Amino acid sequence: MPRQIIATELLTRINNGEHLNVLDVREIMEYHTYNIGGNNIPLRKLEQSINELGYNKTDEIIVICKVGLRSETAQTILLQNGYQNVKNLTGGLLALRKLK
- Please count the other Cβ atoms lying within 10 Å of the Cβ belonging to residue 52: 8
53 is in which domain, residue-wise? 3-99
Q: Tens of pLDDT along the chain (100 residues)?
A: 679 999 999 999 999 999 999 999 999 999 999 999 999 999 999 999 998 899 999 999 999 999 999 999 999 999 999 999 999 999 999 999 999 7
Residue 54 burial (CB < 10 Å; 0-12/13-18/19+)?
exposed
How many domains is the chain partitioned into structurally? Answer: 1
Task: Calculate the alpha carbon distances from 88 to 23, 31 in Å.
Answer: 10, 17
- Amino acid at residue number 13: R
Q: Give the pTM.
A: 0.96
From CA 65, how far away is CA 82, in angstroms rounded? 21
Query: Domain with 73 in it: what CATH number?
Result: 3.40.250.10
Contacts of 15 (CB under 8 A, 6+ apart): none
